[in-house]
Structure 1
Amino acid sequence: MRFNIGKSGLLLLISAALLLSGCKEEKAKIGTAAPTLAAYDLSGNKASLEQWKGKYIYLNFWASNCGGCLAEMPTLEKLSQEYRDNIVVVGINTDKEDANIQALLTDMKVSFPNVRDQLAITQERYQVIGTPTSFLIDPQGTLQGQYVGMMHEPQLKAIFQKAKG
């Protein structure tokens, strides 16, 4: 069987192959390098894990309509202050762009960094199915743990204490 795709078809096929070969599929796996963020801070600047390299990072995926997420926030704020020399809490908001999360964060007195993942690319890389879901990344950028569901203060404190060393 012989196909005649022509010059334009061949060019299209080669272009697609080159484009796909440049895409690196990133998936979260404990013990491997943490996937890169595809998210922006609340000022519209691209966020990167490199910003916090040298510290443990507690990535917390959350949504404004998630009761468990909102219930965790005061404890995460408290621990982010208590352990700020060793660990940075980073909120990854999964709401659509029209949600006013800045007002919510202000009302809840949340000072730890928060970024937006409106396109859900970061969620896909970290294989987040629901919120809250969190990940612990060590100072070298390696995933150390995944935590699905709402965490209570004793559980969170144990994670932060273990990371502190």
Structure 2
Amino acid sequence: LYFWTGSCGVCVSKLPDLAVLQEQLPEDVHLLMLNANDSKGRIQNLIGDARLTVLMNAMDSFNDYAIAYVPTTVFIDKEGKVDQVHVGLLANENTLAIIENLR
């Protein structure tokens, strides 16, 4: 889970990397981006043609996972439990290594 907002410059700067990451993920791993409150038009403008799955108006999820800062990446294991939480940018190589360790 990638928690972000369009007003977070660091979050937006990561979007191209996330599009690349999406293509590198194993078939049984999913990247879900949770956006706090940006409009559909703003999100579409920010992600462009990238094939990213975005859950809009996700403030309930922000609260459920106690997200205080963005970007925050939450890794969920096969049983659906939170395994790791990373606040700030995370390089694609590190993300892929974490995913591999979860498999």
User: For this structure pair, what is the TM-score category when the shorter chain's length is used for normalisation?
Assistant: 0.7 to 0.9
**Aligned match of 2:5:** 63
**Aligned match of 1:122:** 61
Counterpart residue identity of residue 105, structure 1: I
- Within 5 Å, which residues of 2 pair with 1:71-82? 71-82=13-24
Instruction: Please give the secondary structure, in 2, of the residue aligned with 1:131.
Output: coil
Percent identity of paired positions between Structure 1 and Structure 2: 22
Higher Rg: 1
1:86 to 21, 28, 45: 28
Gap regions ≥5 residues in structure 1: 1-58
> Would the aligned equivalents of 2:32 and 2:53 in 1 still touch at CA under 8 Å?
yes
> Would the aligned equivalents of 1:60 and 1:133 in 2 still touch at CA under 8 Å?
yes
- Structure 1 distance, partners of 2:7, 2:37, is 8
| Cα-to-partner distance string for 1:110-163 (whole Å, 9 max, x where unaligned) | 212101125x21111110111101111123211111111111233223223323
Counterpart residue identity of residue 12, structure 2: L
User: Offset at 1:96?
Assistant: 4.1
Distance change in 2, residues 1:132/1:103 (3 Å): same
- Structure 2 distance, partners of 1:70, 1:98, is 15
Distance change in 2, residues 1:72/1:130 (3 Å): same
- Structure 1 distance, partners of 2:38, 2:24, is 31
Counterpart residue identity of residue 9, structure 2: G
User: Offset at 1:98?
Assistant: 7.3
Q: Which runs of 4+ in 1 moved over 3 A?
A: 96-99
Task: Give me the TM-score of the superposition, normalised by structure 2.
Answer: 0.83
- Within 5 Å, which residues of 2 pair with 1:1-165? 59-97=1-39, 100-106=42-48, 109-117=49-57, 120-163=59-102, 165=103
- Aligned residue pairs total 103
Distance change in 2, residues 1:78/1:161 (3 Å): farther
Gap regions ≥5 residues in structure 2: none
